Structure 1
C-alpha cells in the first residue's frame, strides 16, 4: 500500500503564499462589500468530472489559515476516485471566510487532482506488466513536492525529488565528462554509498559500456519497444531499467511490455489537465 504524506510545514508555507497572492493588500473587496460580516454558510466541494482526488490537506489548510473557525470535512480521501457530482468535502462557517479562501483551495486541488487523474490513466494501461509509472523533475516551480505527491495519489511512483538526492548522468554529462566510463567512475568516486547512480543511454552499445562499468539503473532513452526489450534482456539481473522519451497514453502499453522496470512520464506534471472542481455555497 502506498504511503501518502505531505510535510505540514510545506503545506502551510505554500498556502500562505497563495492566500497572500490572491488577497493582496485590501483583501477580498467583493466579498467584503456584498456579504454581511455575521453571515454564515454551508458549502460543498464537488467534482464536475470523473477523476482521482489529490490535495485535500492543502484545501483544508487554505480555510484553516484564513479563518480557524471554518470547518472543513473531507467526504473522500486523497487517492479516491470520484464521479461527476461526487462530493469531495463539506465546509461550514463564516460566509466571508469561505468565499475568500475558496479559490486558493480549488486551485491546489484542481491542479493536483488533475495530475492524480492522469497518472491513474497511465497506471491502468500498464497494470498487466511489472512497470511502474514514475514522474520527473518537470514540475511547476515551487510545487514539486505537491505534484509528486499527486502522482502517488494516482498510483504512480516518484523519481528523484531534486538534483541532490540521486545521480542521473545524462547525455550532456557524458559528453563533457569524456564518455560513459569516465562519467560513471567519477560519480562512484564522488557520492556516498547510499546514493543511487543512474545513467542515460540511447544505443545498445552504450548499454554494454554501462554493464561493463556498473551502475544501479540505466535509462533507455527514446528507444523503440523492440530495442528496449533487448536492453532489458542484456541488463537482466545486473541493473534496473527505466524507459523515457515521448511517452504517452498510446505508446505506454508497448513500452511497458518490453519488460522495463520503470517508465518516466514528464507529461504527468507538465501537461495534465486540471480536474474541474467547484464550490457550491448556501448562505445560512
Structure 2
C-alpha cells in the first residue's frame, strides 16, 4: 500500500486552493463584502467546531486565507489529526474583515469536507482495535482532490492505497476476463513489473484464490465481496504467502468482524465518497 505524508508542502496544495478561490470569487470578486464592509475594518475571526470529530484541512484553510491576504495573522489552535468537540476553536484569523470574508467559504468547504473524511476514518479504525488489520481508502475520491482526501484519511488514523493507475499493478476481474484468466494475467504482469512495483490481484471466489496461490506472481490478493465466513476461509488458505486485503461492502457495522478474520487490510471507498461533512463555522 502506498503511504502518503500527513503534511505536504504548501506549494503542492496551493493550486487546489487557488482554483477554488477563483471559482468562488469569479470575475468581480466578493461584491457583497466590497459593498458593505469598509476597507479598513479589522476583526478577529475563529473557525469553531459545531460537532465532535477529527480535524483535517487546517493547512488548506490557512493557505486560503493567506492567498487572499498575506497580511492576515493566522494561528492554528487544533492541528490536523487532532480530536475536537463542539465549541472548540480550530483556528483564529486576525486582520482585514473583508479578506477573512472572501476566503471564508473556501476554507470551510475544504476543512469541513476533509474533517468529515478524517472523522469517518477514525470510526472505522476504532472498529479494528486489538487486531493487526489496517484500514485504507481507495481511488473513489473527488476528481482533482485525491491528494487532500487521502491526507484526511491519514489524519483519521487510516492508511493509503495506491494513488492512481501508475504506482501499482492491481489486476481486477475485467483485466482477468480480457487477458484470458488468472494464470495468463499474472504471467504478463510479472514480465513488466519492476522489482519496486507490487502486484495485487482481485478474486471473488475460493476457486480463483486457489488459482492465484498455485500460479504465484502476486504480492497481494484482494478478497472482493466475500461474506465473512468465506473471507475467514480465504485468509486461512493464504496464510503468510501473500498480503491480504478485504474489499466490497465494507460498512462500519461490519468492520470488526472482518478484522477478526486476520486480514491485513480493509479497503473502503466509503471513507472518501460517503463521509458527512463535519459541521464547522467561522465566527467573528
Does the TM-score normalized on the shorter chain lie above 0.5?
yes
Give secondary structure in 1 for the equivalent of 2:253. coil
**Which of the numbers 171, 174, 196 marks the counterpart of 1:169?**
171
Matches of residues 128-143 of structure 1 in structure 2 within 5 Å? 128-143=130-145
- CA deviation vs aligned residue, 1:156-176 (integer Å, no higher than 9, x gap): 000000000000000000000
- CA deviation vs aligned residue, 1:166-188 (integer Å, no higher than 9, x gap): 00000000000000010011000
Distance 1:141 1:178 in 2: 32
Task: Provide the residue aligned with 2:122 in structure 1.
Answer: 120
Mapped contact 1:6–1:146 kept (Cα < 8 A) = no
What's the TM-score once normalised by structure 2's chain length?
A: 0.97
Distance 1:224 1:7 in 2: 42
Residue 248 of structure 2 is aligned to residue 253 of structure 1: no
**Which of the numbers 258, 274, 277 marks the counterpart of 2:277?**
274
Distance 2:13 2:240 in 1: 40
Distance 1:7 1:239 in 2: 35
Distance 1:5 1:62 in 2: 16
Distance 2:103 2:155 in 1: 24
What's the TM-score once normalised by structure 1's chain length?
A: 0.97
Give secondary structure in 1 for the equivalent of 2:117. helix
Task: Provide the residue aligned with 2:209 in structure 1.
Answer: 207
Task: Provide the residue aligned with 1:33 in structure 2.
Answer: 35
Deviation at 1:3, TM superposition (A): 5.2
- CA deviation vs aligned residue, 1:94-144 (integer Å, no higher than 9, x gap): 110001101110011000000000000000011121110100000000000
Please identify runs of 4+ aligned residues in structure 1 that moved more than 3 A. none
Mapped contact 1:133–1:157 kept (Cα < 8 A) = yes
Distance 1:203 1:168 in 2: 17
| Unaligned ranges ≥5, structure 2 | none
After the TM superposition, which of the residue ranges 5-14 and 109-118 deviates more from structure 2?
A: 5-14
Deviation at 1:258, TM superposition (A): 0.9
**Which of the numbers 223, 234, 239 marks the counterpart of 1:236?**
239
Q: Name the Cα RMSD after superposition.
A: 1.0
Mapped contact 2:10–2:63 kept (Cα < 8 A) = no
Task: Provide the residue aligned with 2:47 in structure 1.
Answer: 45
Distance 1:255 1:89 in 2: 38
Mapped contact 2:120–2:271 kept (Cα < 8 A) = yes
Distance 1:10 1:144 in 2: 12
Aligned length: 280
Task: Provide the residue aligned with 2:266 in structure 1.
Answer: 263
Distance 2:231 2:221 in 1: 11
Distance 2:105 2:94 in 1: 16
- CA deviation vs aligned residue, 1:12-71 (integer Å, no higher than 9, x gap): 100110110000011000000000000001011000000100011110000101100011
| Unaligned ranges ≥5, structure 1 | none
Distance 2:24 2:5 in 1: 32
Give secondary structure in 2 for the equivalent of 1:251. helix
